[in-house]
Amino acid sequence: MRIRCPHCGERDNGEFSYLGDAAPVRPDGPNASAEAMHDYVYLRDNPAGLHRELWYHAAGCRSWLVVTRDTRSHEIHEVAPARDVALSRRRGEVA
Amino acid sequence: MSDVAMVGAEKLESIWKPRSAWAGYARAGRHGRTGGEAGITLTLRDEVGLATLIVADGKEAALDRALEASHGWSLPEAGRAALAGEEGLIWSGPGQWLAIAGTRRRLDGLADAVTGLASVTDQSDGRALVRVSGPCAREMLSKGVAIDLHPRAFRAGSAAVTSIAHIGAQLWQRDDAPTYDLAVARSFAGSFWSWLSHAAAEFGYGVEHGPGR
């Protein structure tokens, strides 16, 4: 499997490390309910199909990326810098 | 520092001698396959000035202007190196560059020139540098680099951060000969030389010291 890093171009997946689902957003700690924290820490969807997930380009540009991957075929549909995703999320845009 | 101390420091011959990052691993001379022209030349690059720059948020244009004014350098795009002779800047990540110069002294004043625009960290003793040239340079590197080095994909002025033999490496192509420069963390010099010398052996390789020694 290869990942097209938006900074470095197409690279072998051995250069990356996998974190997991990119969807969870950390609840506001002191005010979050126990259920919300439990959900954030432990509960994950396991879709057969498109999955947005975090990868780290450890052996390259050392950037966090959000990769949209089809879990059935490993086909990669989109790779975006996690920084851009976080910034657009902060601005209230859907990301 | 007082003038007296300055004069004294210039006159003193230090007992400390710089040690090459490759000392104890690389030996000058011809190695590997015998007979015929060596396919690979490895030039050990010591006494090179190196520093990493990390730009402050939103200051890239200002940093570009400051570096142009102080050193005559311009910031290369992603995946590129902007070198004139032995000095310039090599892209190493988003908002990050490696500054290189033929001597350490040339980097004097770099941090002052970009105050408030970028963080500067001296890496002159932090990396081991080797220049790879010769008719088989591309073929040899292709054995260890998992990126496409074909001229259609990687050419003079191209730069990449990747890994070779599980060792983090930064490489950039200097010319179409082709000539490559490789930098690894200094503490990995021995392990990296183990890969490099074995990879080069089938082509026959010569090891020489670069300028500054």
Q: Which residues in chain A are contacts of B147 at CB distance < 8 A?
A: 9, 11
What angle is formed at CA B160 by the lines to CA B159 and CA B165, rounded to 5 degrees?
135
Say which of B79, B92, B168 has its CB closest to residue A9. Answer: B79
Tokens representing residue A90 in the block: 């902060």
Same domain, B118 and B144: no
pLDDT at B4: 46
Task: Give the total residue count for chain B.
Answer: 213
Residue with tokens 């000095």: B87
Same domain, B41 and B131: yes
Contact (Cβ atoms closer than 8 angstroms) between residue B170 and residue A61: no
A-B C-beta contacts closer than 8 Å: 38
Among B77, B145, B162, pick the best mutation site for testing chain A contact (most A Cβ within 10 A).
B162
Question: Do β-strands B205-209 and A17-21 pair in parallel, antiparallel, or remain unpaired?
Answer: unpaired
**B17 lies in some domain:** no
User: Cα distance from B94 to chain A (closest Cα, Å)?
Assistant: 7
Residue finishing a domain among B102, B122, B142: B122
pLDDT at B192: 98
Same domain, B55 and B107: yes
Please state the separation of Cα B63 from the chain's center in Å: 22
Q: Is A43 helix (H, G, I), strand (E, B) or coil?
A: coil
Same domain, B140 and B194: yes
Same domain, B172 and B112: no
Q: Which residues of chain B have pLDDT under 50?
A: 1-6, 213
Same domain, B90 and B131: no
Q: Which residues in chain B are contacts of A63 at CB distance < 8 A?
A: 93-94
Task: Compute the distance between CA of residue B128 and CA of residue B65 in angstroms, rounded to an integer.
Answer: 30
Residue A59 sits at the chain B interface (C-beta within 8 Å): yes
**B186 lies in some domain:** yes
User: Cα distance from B133 to chain A (closest Cα, Å)?
Assistant: 23
Q: Which residues in chain A are contacts of B167 at CB distance < 8 A?
A: none
Which structural domain range is residue B160 located in?
Answer: 22-47+125-209
CB contact under 8 A, A15 and B168: no
Q: Which residues in chain A are contacts of B79 at CB distance < 8 A?
A: 7-9
pLDDT band at residue A79 under the 50/70/90 scheme: very high
Tokens representing residue B29 in the block: 């001379």
Comparing C-alpha atoms, which of B106, B128, B134, B109 is closest to residue B120? B109
Same domain, B129 and B80: no
pLDDT, tens digit, 9 for 90 and up, residues A22-78 = 999 889 878 899 999 999 999 999 999 999 999 999 999 999 999 999 999 999 999
- The per-type count for chain B, helices as H runs and strands as E runs, is 5, 12
Comparing C-alpha atoms, which of A78, A87, A82 is closest to residue A63? A82
Say which of B94, B146, B147 has its CB closest to residue A61. Answer: B94
CB contact under 8 A, A15 and B163: yes
pLDDT at A8: 96
Contact (Cβ atoms closer than 8 angstroms) between residue A95 and residue A85: yes
Same domain, B141 and B205: yes
* CATH value at residue B185: 3.30.1360.120
Among A4, A8, A15, A84, pick the best mutation site for testing chain B contact (most B Cβ within 10 A).
A8
Residue A7 sits at the chain B interface (C-beta within 8 Å): yes
Same domain, B172 and B107: no
Same domain, B159 and B63: no
pLDDT at B212: 60
Same domain, B80 and B169: no
Q: What is the mean pLDDT of chain B?
A: 93
pLDDT at A30: 85
User: Cα distance from B144 to chain A (closest Cα, Å)?
Assistant: 13
Taking a contact as any Cβ pair under 8 Å apart, which residues of chain A between 14 and 33 contact chain B? 14-15
Say which of A11, A63, A83 has its CB closest to residue B147. Answer: A11
CATH of A2-90, one of 3.40.50.12780, 3.40.50.720, 3.30.2270.10, 1.10.10.10: 3.30.2270.10
DSSP code for B134: S
Task: Compute the distance between CA of residue B109 and CA of residue B70 in angstroms, rounded to an integer.
Answer: 8
- Bridge partners, residue A76, by sequence: A69
